[in-house]
Amino acid sequence: GFQVLGRPGPSGADPSANLGGLASKWCGPPSQLGGLGFQVSADPPLRNWAAWASKWCGPPLATARPVLLSGLGPPSQLGGLGFQSGVDPPRNWAAWASKWSGPLAAGRRVGRRLAFHVRNKLFEGIIVQDIAFFDSANTGDLTSRLSYDSNAMVAPCQTMLSSTLQNLLALVGGLFMCFWTSWKLSMLAFTTILPITYITARYAKWSSQLNRQIFTALGEANTVAQEALGHIRTVRAFSTEEIEVEKYTTHTHDALRKGIRDALGGAGTFALNNYLDLGGAVLILWYGGLQVMDGHLTVGKLIQFQLYFNMMQSSYKALQNVVTSFTRAAGAATRVLSLMDSLPDIDSTSGSQLTKPMAACITLEEVRFCYQMRRDHEVLKGISLNIAAGTTCALVGRSGGGKSTLIHLLLRYYDPSSGRILIDGTDLTSLELASVHRQMGLVAQETQMFAKTVFENICYGYSEDEVTREQVEAATRKANAHDFIAAFPDGYETLVGERGVRLSGGQKQRIAIARAFLRAPRLLLLDEATSALDSESEALVQLALDELLGSENRTVVLVAHRLSTVVDAHKIAVLDGGVVVEEGTHEMLLKLGASSDEGDGGGEKKGVYASLVKRQLAKQANLIEDA
Ligand code: ADP
């Protein structure tokens, strides 16, 4: 081999001196050094420990090397060599392209923008999903997709897109130069590219699946963390910190195990590919050497070919890395895109807008409904009910009878499985939901608060210029909330904490009532809180509710647990087992109870309301006796 290289080159330069200069300038490509070492010292490649070690350096080098090669190594070298072998340096466009930093900045910018859009689109996609979707989804997994998955999905773009154009140019340039220098050598050298491509593609596919599992495990860990931290008081009260940590670690450990498997697989693929590289180099030098000896090729051309081939190969590998990381990112992308693509059944943006104030006459026609999570259990079994505009209808009945479900259907959290809900004679499903909600108010069983100030919580849903401080104060006064808010050191600017933890149950309810006053809805839906409040707080909430129900001429549908709220309702509907069993005013229903007590033997179950009242009165009497 030494003799071969010792022959003077066609350009007249001494090739061995050229080699020395080349080696001293070129500290990058180990395979190249290995190849040269083989030729110069006739050492078998495996005993060249430096080259051997470099093959085993694993992924950091795997990524560093192509970048080094495509960014710094060969092109500058090519310039020098090009000069020696007669190629004009300024015309070496591949080297010029690879030095150009334009694509780098552009790629990073594209990557950042992509991350921005993916995250926003994903959040947009999630927040419009049906409530039924949220019944089965878990928040930890969703937030995990927003943070980890969307990041992982665009990561290759951010890091690799920048070098793709550069590598693509170097690849095409290198390929062309290789064939131009010696097509026979090119054909031979490319035989190693095929197995490398196959191995890398297999690894990429396997790694993509593994990474999808890693993201799922991280999502599960996130769910545990979010639940535990969100319910930290319960965790502390039951001293379950260790159990929660264990649960969390199980999932992160799962992710770690799979991550390590991926790393090992990556390192193995990398090593295998490097040996194939080495094989390629050996083939080139063997066949090239023969060609030189036969006089078909000059030494200069052989070295030139070797360098072009290396340049092309490293660009090819860098591109392959891009493809691999994209395939891996595909795991995350599936989880992100499946959410983005799934359209909600209830489209809140379509339908005709309600522009005028509605009278809010509610009609339910044979409404049937079951939750998606429990399809075998029909909650509402054909409810027909008329609620005249401006009247109050109280829904009463045993727990689990479907009262809250009915309120959910009026809010269109869900659509009935059959039957219709009409508002002023128009099917709720044909109205634009946001325009209906603008005229609706809700006081739910549990007031949901945002980790913002009291003021912002009351104005939730309004922009800053839509409501004045006076309007908010007027609403809180009517809701019996002004005094306690004003007593806070920061008044209306008091931060309520996550989910309103810094407020008591009664205070939160009065804030919800203040929200309803501020909104002045045409239709008020009220799901009375079941959790017991202390008697003072209860009296204040009751007063606020009386004020809310008594004011203005609005339609109210309320789920009542307290007799006092029910008695004044224009209509009481008793729900039992998913059907309306009794309907009428307080007096009418009590009379119904009395007649069934007399035992008319009609067989039909009557007097449900009367017995509810009796039970409630007995409970109150007990309370008084206990006191
Ligand atoms: P009520 O308000 O009269 O106490 P609900 O309307 O809350 O009754 O509940 C009626 C039935 O529907 C209950 O059996 C309850 O378990 C079930 N249910 C309520 N919400 C859901 C849900 N999101 N998914 C599945 N089943 C539900």
Give residue 371 CA to ligand 1 midpoint distance, Å.
8
**Nearest atom, ligand 1, residue 406 CA:** 6
> Which residue from 136, 369, 370, 404 has its CB within 8 A of the most atoms of ligand 1, so it is best to mutate?
404
Q: Are 572 and 583 in contact (CB under 8 A)?
A: yes
Which protein residue has the closest C-alpha to ligand 1 atom 11? 400
Which of 466, 491, 520 corresponds to the end of one domain? Answer: 520
374 pocket-lining for ligand 1 (C-beta < 6 Å): yes
Report the complex ipTM: 0.97
The dihedral region occupied by 556, where left means phi > 0, alpha psi between -120 and 50, and beta the remainder, is: beta
Distance in angstroms (rounded) separating the CA atoms of residues 233 and 231: 5
Supply 333's token pair: 């992308």
Whether this model's pTM surpasses 0.80? no
pLDDT for the residue numbered 87: 41
Same domain, 475 and 598: no
375 pocket-lining for ligand 1 (C-beta < 6 Å): no
213 pocket-lining for ligand 1 (C-beta < 6 Å): no
Residue 571 lies in a domain: yes
Residue 210 lies in a domain: no
Maximal C-alpha separation, the chain: 126
Same domain, 283 and 424: no
Into how many domains does the chain fold?
3
**Nearest atom, ligand 1, residue 578 CA:** 10
Strand 362-369 and strand 579-584: the pairing is unpaired
Q: How far, CA to CA in Å, does 356 sit from each of 352, 389, 436, 446?
A: 12, 15, 10, 30
Closest-CA residue to 480 (of 379, 548, 420): 548
Give residue 402 CA to ligand 1 midpoint distance, Å.
6
Closest-CA residue to 584 (of 570, 602, 597, 598): 570
Running along the chain, 627 residues long, what does each successive block of 10 average in pLDDT?
A: 36 39 38 36 40 42 36 35 39 54 65 85 90 87 86 76 76 87 85 85 88 88 88 85 93 94 91 87 88 88 87 84 79 83 85 87 94 90 92 90 92 93 92 90 86 89 85 89 89 84 83 89 84 70 80 85 82 90 87 63 64 80 57
**Nearest atom, ligand 1, residue 402 CA:** 6
pLDDT for the residue numbered 278: 86
Q: What is the CATH number of the domain that holds 492?
A: 3.40.50.300
59 pocket-lining for ligand 1 (C-beta < 6 Å): no
400 pocket-lining for ligand 1 (C-beta < 6 Å): yes
Torsions phi, psi for 239 (to 5 deg): 50, 50
pLDDT for the residue numbered 383: 92
Closest-CA residue to 479 (of 496, 494, 460, 458): 458
Same domain, 288 and 323: yes
Q: In the chain, how many H helices and how many E strands?
A: 26, 10
Distance in angstroms (rounded) separating the CA atoms of residues 540 and 520: 20
Strand 555-559 and strand 523-527: the pairing is parallel
Same domain, 9 and 95: yes
156 pocket-lining for ligand 1 (C-beta < 6 Å): no
User: Domain range spanning residue 491?
Assistant: 445-520
Same domain, 278 and 385: no
Give residue 399 CA to ligand 1 midpoint distance, Å.
9
Same domain, 180 and 103: yes
Query: Strand, coil or helix: what is 129?
Result: coil
